[in-house]
Amino acid sequence: HSHLITFAKEEMRSFTAQKEREKEAREREARSSNGHLFTSLSVSATTLCSSCNRSITAKEALSCPGCNVTIHNRCRDSLASCAKMKQRQQKLALVRNSSALQNVALRTKTPMMKERPSSAIYPSDTLRQSLLGSRRVRSGLSLSKSVSTNNIAGGIEESVGLRRILSQSTESLNFRSRTLSMESLTDEGEWWTSPLLEELRTEGICVQADSWSLAVEPSFLQTLHKDVIKQQDVIYELIQTEFHHVRTLRIMEGVYRRGMLEEVMLEAGVVHTIFPCLEQLVELHSNFLSELMNRRKDGLMEGSFTNFTIRRLGDLLLRQFSGQSADDMKKLYSEFCSRHPKAVKLYKEVLTRDRRLQQFIRRVCRGPLLRRHGVQECILLVTQRITKYPVLIQRILDNTKGCEEEAQALKKALHLLKELISSVDQEVLELDRTRRLQEIQARLDPRAQAEVQRGGVFRGGELLRRKLLHDGTILWKVQGSRMKDVQVLLMSDILVFLQEKDQKFTFASLDKSPIVPLNNLIVREVANQERGMYLISSDSSPPEMYELYASSKDDRKTWMSRIQQAALSCPSRDEFPLIETEDKALLRRLRGVSDIQQKDREVLELLQERVTLFSDLMQVTARGESGEDRCVETRTSCCRNLFRADTPHAPKAEQLLLAAIGEGEEVSSGSPLTTMLSSSGTQKPSVTNGNQEISSESPDTCNLPLYFLSSFSPLIDF
């Protein structure tokens, strides 16, 4: 009896386990779609569907751990096949396909059963999906189609089941055609990337050796001195790394940027933010690389294509890191490096929500070259390139022996390069500080204001008039030995203390003013406190003392040094008022009008010099054409016709220039502001040219104002 009870329990346990396995299989089959294995999860309100780009609620969120996509429950059928599950599905298809015939149940034919066409019978939907998961597994489909249904017997239920099987077979064919269509669409964009990558591989053959010593023949290497070999190794490394840099830039432009615009169809503004000033960088470094390769070509030994030496490089480096080229590098790298954090952040955001970009990046990164050059890696490499030049040039200089002229050129190029990098760092730092100040201003409470000494109210808009020099968090010791966390802004002429509340900044409302002018500010250390410092402001009456504590001794040293430097260069209150009203701002702008008179004098001197030069030129021309006898007669006519426009390029050159000279003379005799105001009056200058009198009231002269220099453009072609 006990054996029967044990046997019944075992049967019940096995039956329950079988039911649970079947239930899990049904649930797993229901969750699977296009190779994805979806699981339910909780998401935030800002999560977007990878298929329709709409927000997802927690109840309908599904996620595939294979490809890390999150979608609606209703969007799972429209999602493309899971890339990481394809290989696994192919293996499962091959394994299950071998046993597919064994799992088909065949019945004997009855007289009631009618003949029906042959059709593929799949043991389950999971097998159907596995067989149709990859377009490469065609043997499984042909084998399943060879299964005959002629021996299947049954009544009405079997007939209904057969119709269902035929319907499933038709749906599976439609499903397969949709899958193949989607995959063909994702592969059609590779035609324009392959030529570029092949071109880069071809161009890289000349620099594929690890060093110059390995690139040249051993017999040629033995004829050179040790110092020359070291020098050529470093020069080769410079050429090789420059080629790699140009290759990175061209990949960014020809693969990623072009693909985002033409295939992914991203907005041009978004792509420009991710890849700022990319075309100019490609042109700049391509020209530099071309000059380096020309030097390599010029240094080839006669009768050889691999043996070369580059003896002179200093003049080329001087041209690259000075003049217009240096200005272009400073401008481009300042912009690119300052936008680096924003570019990477935007790229991550777009990649997270845009499924087309995900597919594009996944496809183009299959190759070995692009696998090492992702978008973020490329951006980082570009920002680091300018810092690699000094090390290489210094090594070239160290191994340059016996040529003083070349050594001096390399030294000067190295000095110019370091100045260029310093300028780029300063530009990037200032742009970062400006962006930081704008972020703080955006978080400042619009109603925030602070009273300052000698009357007046300081509002948040006054911050944008100034430059941010340094900022950070400091402890402010107030009455009662309490410590308050404050955000301190070191501006060009003041210190500002802010407090954060509810993710908003307000002016610190403690026992002293949150605005401390740098004029007459004294900075001292707190005795026996390695993190403390005193700020004594004598700008107010009586003087006020602030006791502050930094996070560390080094932090206190940094704050004290920067505050003292800012106090030394602080502008006076006459030049830069603490609070600027609208009237003061207008007066400050009008004060700049005093420079107009000096500019007018300079323009007048240039015009007079131009007249003298043209007069001398015409006298020489008249003397050569008319001879000595007629020189005096033609001088007057030549001077009279000097600025007359006989060409269609400058039809009003004479009138414009004479009117400009007349107004310049009038301006030089009066104050700038009076002249500016009288330019709209009734008295107009007139200039006599021969028998013709030209007035500025004439429609040809158009009543030129003080900025008459803009009228000189016709004289350029003349």
| Domain chopping of the chain, boundaries | 1-27, 190-428, 444-579, 604-717
For residues 36 and 65, is the Cβ–Cβ distance under 8 A? Answer: no
- Measured distance CA(588)–CA(70) in Å, rounded: 58
Least confident of 261-270, 508-517, 523-532, 575-584: 575-584
What is the structure's pLDDT at 370? 80
pLDDT class of 605 with cuts at 50, 70, 90: confident
Mean pLDDT of 616-645: 58
CA 563 to chain centre: 33
pLDDT above 80: residue 345: yes
Strand partners, 239: none
Stretch 468-490: mean pLDDT, rounded?
Answer: 88
The pLDDT value given to residue 102: 43
Span of 248-257, 286-295, 434-443, 652-661 with lowest mean pLDDT: 652-661
Cis peptide before 648 (omega within 30 of 0): no
**What is the pLDDT at residue 455?**
67
**Upstream peptide bond of 542 is cis (omega within 30 degrees of 0):** yes
Q: Which residue has the higher pLDDT, 660 or 262?
A: 262
| pTM of the shown model | 0.55
Which range among 202-206, 268-272, 479-483, 572-576 has the greatest average pLDDT? Answer: 268-272
Measure the CA–CA gap between 295 and 423, rounded to whole angstroms. Answer: 29
Question: What's the CA angle centered on 349, arms 185 and 72, to 5 degrees?
Answer: 65
Q: pLDDT band at 58, cuts 50/70/90?
A: low
- The phi, psi pair for 42, rounded to 5°, reads -95, 135
Residue with tokens 């990098």: 421
Query: Can you tell me the distance from the alpha carbon of 456 to that of 468, in angstroms, rounded to the nearest whole number?
Result: 22
| pLDDT tens per residue, range 166-213 | 344 444 434 334 333 333 334 444 555 677 777 777 777 788 888 888
pLDDT of 127 > 50? The answer is no
Quickly state the pLDDT bin for 59 (edges 50, 70, 90). low
Whether CATH 2.30.29.30 fits 444-579: yes
More confident: 672 or 407: 407
More confident site: 352 or 702: 352
Distances (CA, A) of 158 to 3, 110, 116, 120: 41, 11, 12, 15
Which helix or strand (DSSP H or E) is residue 459 part of? Answer: strand 457-459
**Confidence band (pLDDT; 50, 70, 90) for 631?**
low
Q: Which helix (H) or strand (E) holds 420?
A: helix 404-443
Query: What is the rounded CA–CA span in Å between residue 64 and residue 70?
Result: 7
Task: Find the angle CA(633)-CA(638)-CA(640) to the nearest 5 degrees.
Answer: 105
pLDDT, one tens digit per residue, over 25-41 is 766 655 556 667 777 76
Q: Taking a C-beta distance cutoff of 8 angstroms, is the pair 314, 406 a contact?
A: yes
| pLDDT band per the 50, 70, 90 thresholds, residue 105 | very low
Q: What is the dihedral of CA 320, 321, 327, 332, to 10 degrees?
A: 80
pLDDT of residue 53: 58
Label residue 367 by pLDDT band (50, 70, 90). Answer: confident
**Mean pLDDT lowest for which of 88-92, 227-231, 446-450, 612-616?**
88-92
Scanning 592-652, the segments in alpha helix (DSSP H) are 594-626, 631-640
Among 71-80, 256-265, 418-427, 521-530, which is the least confidently predicted range? 71-80
Return the pLDDT at 616.
Answer: 78
Q: Region 85-97: what's the mean pLDDT?
A: 52
The alpha carbon of 47 is separated from its chain's Cα centroid by a whole number of angstroms, namely 25
CATH, domain 190-428, list 1.20.900.10, 3.40.190.10, 3.40.640.10, 3.90.1150.10: 1.20.900.10
Question: What length does the chain have?
Answer: 718
Residue 516: is it exposed, middle or buried by C-beta count within 10 angstroms (0-12/13-18/19+)?
A: buried
Q: Which residue has the higher pLDDT, 581 or 128?
A: 581
CA pair distance 77, 379, nearest whole angstrom? 36
CA atoms within 13 A of residue 590's CA, in its CB half-sphere: 11
Cα distances from 121 to residues 98, 128, 170, in angstroms, run 14, 9, 11
- Report the pLDDT value the prediction gives residue 28, as an integer from 0 to 100: 62
Tell me the per-residue pLDDT of 506-521, one tens digit each, with 9 for 90 and over. 998 888 888 888 888 8
Round the average pLDDT of the chain to a whole number and report it: 73
pLDDT surpassing 60 at residue 402: yes
pLDDT at 497 over 90: yes
The contacts of residue 63 (CB under 8 Å, 6+ apart) are 38, 39, 40, 41, 69, 70, 71
What average pLDDT does this structure show over 221-242? 90
Least confident of 6-15, 234-243, 268-277: 6-15
Angle between helix 323-338 and 404-443 (nearest 10): 30
% of the chain surpassing 70 pLDDT = 64
Q: What is the average per-residue pLDDT within 430-457?
A: 86
In percent, how much of the chain has pLDDT > 90? 27
**Mean local confidence (pLDDT), 300-312:** 86
| DSSP label of 55 | B
State the Cα–Cα distance between residues 631 and 612, nearest whole angstrom: 17
Give the pLDDT score at 593: 62
At 115, is the pLDDT very low, low, confident or very high (cuts 50, 70, 90)? very low
Task: Provide the pLDDT for residue 24.
Answer: 74
Checking if the pLDDT of 235 tops 50, the result is yes
**3-class DSSP state of 196:** helix
Looking at per-residue confidence, does 147 or 283 come out higher?
283
Task: Name the residue among 642, 664, 636 with its Cα closest to residue 715.
Answer: 642
Range 313-325 average pLDDT: 92
